[in-house]
Structures are given as C-alpha cells and as structure tokens.
Amino acid sequence: MSAISKATARLPLFDRLIDENPQEREETKIKDRTNLEGLKESIQKELRMIFNTRCILAPRKGNYPTPENFGLMEYTHLNPNGSEGMKIIRGFITAIELYEPRLLNPNARILRYDSVFQKVYIQIEGMIKLGERLERFSFPLDIASE
C-alpha cells in the first residue's frame, strides 16, 4: 500500500457534524478523517455549494471570509465567451481561495456556456495535499444561474 493511500485529511466542520445515524441513541466515533477519494469528493461538494450560492458583496482577493461574500456574484449579465469571461474566472478563483483552501493553486476555465439554461460549465484545477504529498486534481463542474 502506498503512502498516499494510507494518508488521510481532515473533513470540513459541517461534514464532521452530520449525524449519519440519527436513530441511534449513542454516538459512534466521529468520522473526521478521509482518504484521497473522500477528500476529492468533499472538495467537489464544497465548490458546488459555493459556486451555486450568490453573494451580496463580491469576494475579493485579500478579503476575510464572511457570509456576505460567500459564493459568487451574479454573472448571468456577463458574456462568458467574451472578455468578461476572465472576470467570471477571477470570481471562481477568488471564491476557491477564500472558502476552499484545501485546493491549492486553483485555476479555472470556462468550457462552455448554455444560454438557454443559463449554465456555465467549467474545469477546476489545483493541487491537494494529503499527508506530505501534493496531488494534482482536476474536475468539471456545472454552475446554474439562480
């Protein structure tokens, strides 16, 4: 078994607080660690939630995370295929840096935009740290306009 398959990472707070067996009166040991595949799933889940939440204030590099800047600003008035696409991508990257620090050196690119359903399809890339090893991570994500 390789070192990467033995290594674990800590789950986000709300994942640790979920009671998976509410009918049981006594709590079993709290699940607070995950393996590489669990970490990847957790990051994807968190980013899906962040990107499908609209915020009041635009998240900006250097800001502190607050409820007012959690998520993305509404972007449907922007043209993702034009020069405004870079503004959307910067918003994705800033939101990742503020709210999903487990994805290091994040990058994003727009794959396509569905104007009928107002959905943006993006590719997210970055590095994740598990134990002492860095692992490249890339996955597609679709974001609906709310």
Predicted local distance difference test score (pLDDT) of residue 32: 57
Domain boundaries, the chain: 3-17+31-144
Predicted local distance difference test score (pLDDT) of residue 11: 63
pLDDT at residue 50 tops 90? no
Higher pLDDT residue, 4 or 91? Answer: 91
Average pLDDT, the chain: 78
Q: Residues for the chain: how many in total? A: 146
pTM exceeding 0.85 = no
Predicted local distance difference test score (pLDDT) of residue 33: 60
pLDDT band at 127 (very low <50, low <70, confident <90, very high): very high
* Chain-centre distance for alpha carbon 71: 10
Identify whether the C-beta of residue 110 lies closer than 8 Å to the C-beta of residue 121.
yes
pLDDT band at 3 (very low <50, low <70, confident <90, very high): very low
In DSSP terms, 142 is beta-bridged to 121
CATH 3.10.450 fits 3-17+31-144, yes or no: yes
CA of 121: how far to CAs of 48, 124, 144, in Å? 12, 10, 9
| Average pLDDT of span 72-84 | 74
